[in-house]
Amino acid sequence: MTEDDVRTRNEPIESSVEPARARTAEPVVEVAPGKAAQVVGVRPAPPERTSGGGAWRRRLVLAAGPLALAAAMVVYVGGQSGPELRDLPAYTVSAVGVRAMGGQAEEPSPRLRVPKGAGRNARFEVLLRPAAAPQEGVVAYAFTFGGDASEPAPLDAKVEIAPDGPVKLTGAAGALEGAHELRIVLGTPAAIGKFDDAATRARSANSDAHVLVLTVPIDRE
């Protein structure tokens, strides 16, 4: 055996077969925390050409393959959706006007009557009745508006909510001093948000399918 034959046998043989792990390598797509990523289209990398170029060129193609695959992806990143909000049923309002202790009860009305001479301890009642039971539990925030002021003031009243949706507010005449109307913000806690959000709703008197702002005018006689 000649020296040239020995040198030929010891030289590494370049393989035309791609390593299996390189063919199956998958790109890593980083997504911001709390975000959801969806791959909607993937274009596979073109097959490697085996003619010419040498081993260094094949290694370059194998290294760039995952990056090319990642670049071919179309990824949509969106914020996580919040809890599903359910529509509220319609509500009707009836109020029993202020009356002195032991006085005769008035007929319910959409308006709240405050007669002259009623003491600060005279009681009133406002009842909200749903057309059907709400699909989720509701909460209610009551505010008064007085004179030309456009800022809501929290109503000092007892709020009772039945499991099937009716809401009852009771309080004393002193809590209505200077007020010309009540606004009651009604909805699920998720739909309304915090107390400040309820006050903003009352200020704008803006109702939608998930939050109702019910207005009760106050008549003074």
Q: Are 112 and 124 in contact (CB under 8 A)?
A: yes
Q: Is there a single domain that holds both residue 103 and residue 211?
A: yes
Q: Are residues 155 and 119 in the same domain?
A: yes
Q: Do 205 and 183 touch, CB atoms closer than 8 A?
A: yes
Round to whole Å and give the CA distance between 150 and 178: 13
- Tell me the CB-side half-sphere exposure of residue 113, using CA atoms within 13 A: 13
Residue 163 is given by DSSP the state: T
Structure-token pair, residue 48: 């490697």
Degrees, nearest 5: CA angle 123-183-191: 125
Contact 121, 171 (CB under 8 A): no
Band (141; pLDDT cuts 50, 70, 90): very high
Instruction: Give the angle 83-84-88 at the CA atoms, nearest 5°.
Output: 125
Residue 44 belongs to domain spanning: 3-79
Domain-located, residue 173: yes
Domain-embedded: residue 167: yes
Entry field: residues in the chain: 221
Instruction: Check the CA dihedral 202-207-213-216 and report its sign.
Output: positive
Q: How far is Cα 93 from Cα 186, in angstroms, rounded to an integer?
A: 12
Number of domains forming the structure of the chain: 2
**Pair (53, 127) in one structural domain:** no
Return the minimum-mean-pLDDT range out of 61-75, 114-128, 135-149, 165-179.
61-75
Let me know whether 172 and 119 are in one domain: yes
- Closest Cα to residue 45, out of 73, 19, 17? 73
Asked whether residue 186 is assigned to any structural domain, the reply reads: yes
CATH number of the CATH domain containing 181: 2.60.40
Q: Are 77 and 37 in contact (CB under 8 A)?
A: yes
Question: H or E segment at 201?
Answer: helix 195-204
Residue 85 maps to a domain: no
pLDDT in tens, 181-221: 999 999 999 999 999 999 999 999 999 999 999 999 999 87
Residue 84: inside a domain, yes or no?
Answer: no
Higher pLDDT, 216 or 37: 216
Task: Choose the final residue of a domain: 79, 103, 133.
Answer: 79
Listing DSSP states for 183-199 in one string gives EEEEE-HHHH-SHHHHH
Q: Are residues 55 and 106 in the same domain?
A: no
What are the tokens at 121? 């301890």
Q: Cβ atoms within 10 A of the Cβ of 95, count? A: 23
Q: pLDDT tens, 102-125? A: 555 566 789 998 887 788 899 999
